């Protein structure tokens, strides 16, 4: 009996810990499956529960690595060091398994603490490493991986790295597919004709944004009088805090869908007329792709403020506004409530912002990277 030929291509993606590393990988996988239906794709992610929450419903093969972020404090440093070896070994085992079934295996490092040991394993197994840099300020892991990567793609202009290949933002196809706004709102049990505000702090949530919106709703219910709300709080919110936030909207007479997690972000973006959220590279790319005017609150604890840098293309065209997250709700209210009021009561300004975003064109970075992976010799 003659042996069946091996499927030609396997692509192993490495990145996790937040949706910001996972969703762009999924976007590239979508396009790979479209361009080359025979390509086999798997993901290596972190062992954080959030990663499983994202991936379990999708049917994409994945495995958690024990990798931990680098930390300078003794306990965190010990965790990083002791997790490195097992993460490298587990990745090498995955690569060896894929090699037995496929002619070509490539590791695509999506950045972050999961990608670094995976890239090391790929070098040990002598397979090519493709780095996808998502943020305007590359993290330590990306700088490390870039030293030996065969190809580097970046969704942002990076000073001092002119050899990194620039691609447009990387967005899942579901975010860019046209969805009827009325139908999208119906998925959240909202009125099909009422303007909709979307609040999300990303897949893990943002407590300071939850508290800001709770205070804003109580202080300025009239500003939201003609609006309804989709609010993703993040799964880290307590049951008490979730109920208090829901009660704040109800007491102000505002129809609001408030849940820890949104399964269908494409529908959420399609339903929305204005967004409030963090500005990781993935979120900025999705707002670009959905043409959603946004108020961004960069994560306040990053020393390099790379989330703020991510927003620059949208700020430059007046498609978004960036506000400093002071964490304390009283300070955020004092500094930023008026900005939100002006957008909620200024439909002409929102229309102008949306028009500016539409003029940017489609963020098709996922298509370009997928095609390049298929074309690799």
Cα-based angle 289, 204, 114 (whole degrees, multiple of 5): 85
Residue 228 DSSP symbol? E
Mean pLDDT of 3-9: 69
Tens digits of residue pLDDT in 88-97: 999 999 999 9
DSSP H stretches of helix in 12-48: 19-35
Residue 303 has pLDDT above 80, yes or no: no
Q: Where are the domains of the chain?
A: 9-168+364-375, 175-358
Mean per-residue pLDDT, 204-225: 92
248-254: average pLDDT: 97
Q: Say if residues 99 and 105 touch (Cβ distance below 8 Å).
A: yes
Report pLDDT digits (tens) over 318-357: 999 999 999 999 999 999 999 999 999 999 999 999 999 9
Give residues with Cβ within 8 angstroms of 36, minimum separation 6.
9, 374
Mean pLDDT confidence for 273-289: 92
Q: How confident is the model at residue 302 (pLDDT cuts 50, 70, 90)?
A: low
Provide CB contacts within 8 A for 260, sequence distance 6+. Answer: 205, 232, 233, 234, 235, 237, 242
Q: Write the pLDDT tens digit of every residue in 81-127.
A: 999 999 999 999 999 999 999 999 999 999 999 999 999 999 999 99
Spatial distance between the Cα atoms of 19 and 203, rounded to a whole number of angstroms: 6
Average of per-residue pLDDT values in the chain? 93
Is residue 101 exposed (0-12), middle (13-18) or buried (19+ Cβ within 10 Å)?
A: exposed
Mean pLDDT for 239-262 is 96
What pLDDT is attached to residue 219?
97
Tell me the C-alpha distance between 319 and 350, whole Å. 9
CATH architecture for the domain at 175-358: 3-Layer(aba) Sandwich (3.40)
**pTM of this prediction?**
0.82
The residue-averaged pLDDT of 285-294 equals 94
pLDDT at residue 34, as a whole number: 95
pLDDT of residue 205: 67
Using 50, 70 and 90 to split pLDDT, how confident is the model at 7? low
pLDDT at 271: 97
* Residue 139 banded pLDDT, cuts 50, 70, 90: confident
pLDDT for 304: 67
Question: Looking at 44-58, 290-304, 316-330, which range is the least confident one?
Answer: 290-304
Amino acid 174: pLDDT:
75
Confidence of residue 217 (pLDDT cuts 50, 70, 90): very high
Residue 4, pLDDT score: 60
The answer to whether the 9-168+364-375 and 175-358 domains have the same CATH topology is yes
Angle (deg, nearest 10), helices 329-344 and 347-358: 90
Which residues fall within 8 angstroms of residue 99, CB to CB, at 6 or more apart?
105, 125, 127
- Position 143 pLDDT exceeds 90: yes
Query: Binning pLDDT at 50, 70 and 90, where does residue 203 land?
Result: low
Would you state the pLDDT for residue 2?
Answer: 54
**Residue pLDDT, tens place only, 171-192:** 998 777 788 999 999 999 999 9
Tell me how far apart the alpha carbons of residues 342 and 354 are, in angstroms, rounded to a whole number: 16
Cβ contact 131:111 at 8 Å? yes
Confidence at 241, pLDDT banded by 50, 70, 90: very high
Looking at residue 112, the DSSP 8-state letter turns out to be: S
pLDDT the model gives residue 200: 93
Q: What is the pLDDT of residue 173?
A: 86
CATH homologous superfamily for 9-168+364-375?
Glycogen Phosphorylase B; (3.40.50.2000)
Region 150-177 average pLDDT: 88
Mean pLDDT across 1-10: 68
**Cα–chain center distance at 303:** 20
Neighbours of 155 (CB within 10 A): 27
Please name the residue ranges forming H helices in 125-199.
140-146, 173-176, 181-186
Local confidence band at 160 (pLDDT 50, 70, 90 cut-offs): confident
| pLDDT recorded at residue 156 | 85
Q: How far is it, in rounded angstroms, from Cα 199 to Cα 370?
A: 31
Give the pLDDT band of residue 5 (cuts 50, 70, 90).
low
What tokens does 353 get? 């912002």
């Amino acid at each position: 009996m003659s042996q069946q030929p091996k499927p030609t291509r396997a692509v192993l993606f490495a990145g996790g810990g937040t949706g910001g590393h996972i969703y762009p990988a999924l976007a590239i996988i979508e396009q790979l499956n479209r361009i080359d239906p025979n390509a086999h794709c798997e993901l290596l992610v972190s062992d954080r529960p959030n990663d499983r929450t994202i991936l379990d419903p999708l049917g994409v093969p994945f495995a958690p690595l024990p990798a931990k972020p680098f930390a300078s404090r003794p306990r965190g440093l010990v965790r990083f060091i002791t997790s490195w070896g097992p993460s490298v070994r587990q990745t090498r085992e995955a690569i060896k398994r894929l090699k037995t079934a496929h002619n070509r295996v490539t590791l695509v490092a999506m950045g972050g603490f999961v990608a670094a040991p995976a890239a090391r394993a790929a070098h040990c197994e002598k397979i090519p490493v493709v780095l996808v840099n998502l943020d305007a300020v590359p993290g330590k892991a990306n700088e490390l991986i870039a030293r030996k990567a065969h190809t580097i793609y970046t969704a942002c202009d990076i000073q001092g790295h002119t050899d990194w290949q620039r691609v447009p933002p990387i967005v899942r196809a579901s975010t860019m597919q046209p969805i009827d706004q009325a139908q999208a709102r119906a998925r959240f049990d909202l009125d099909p004709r009422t303007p909709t505000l979307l609040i999300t702090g990303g897949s893990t949530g943002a407590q300071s944004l939850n508290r800001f919106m709770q205070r804003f709703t109580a202080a300025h219910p009239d500003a939201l009088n003609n609006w309804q709300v989709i609010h993703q709080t993040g799964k880290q919110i307590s049951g008490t805090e979730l109920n208090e936030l829901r009660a704040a909207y109800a007491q102000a007479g505002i129809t609001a869908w408030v849940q820890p997690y949104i399964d269908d972000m494409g529908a959420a973006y399609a339903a929305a007329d204005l967004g409030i959220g963090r500005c990781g590279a993935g979120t900025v790319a999705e707002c670009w792709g959905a043409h959603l005017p946004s108020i961004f609150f960069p994560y306040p604890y990053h020393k390099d403020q790379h989330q703020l840098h991510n927003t620059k293309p949208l700020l430059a065209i007046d498609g978004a506004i960036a506000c400093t997250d002071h964490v304390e709700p009283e300070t955020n209210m004092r500094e930023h409530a008026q900005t939100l009021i002006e957008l909620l009561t200024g439909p002409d300004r929102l229309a102008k912002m949306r028009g500016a975003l539409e003029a940017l064109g489609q963020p098709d970075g996922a298509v370009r990277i997928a095609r390049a992976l298929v074309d690799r010799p």
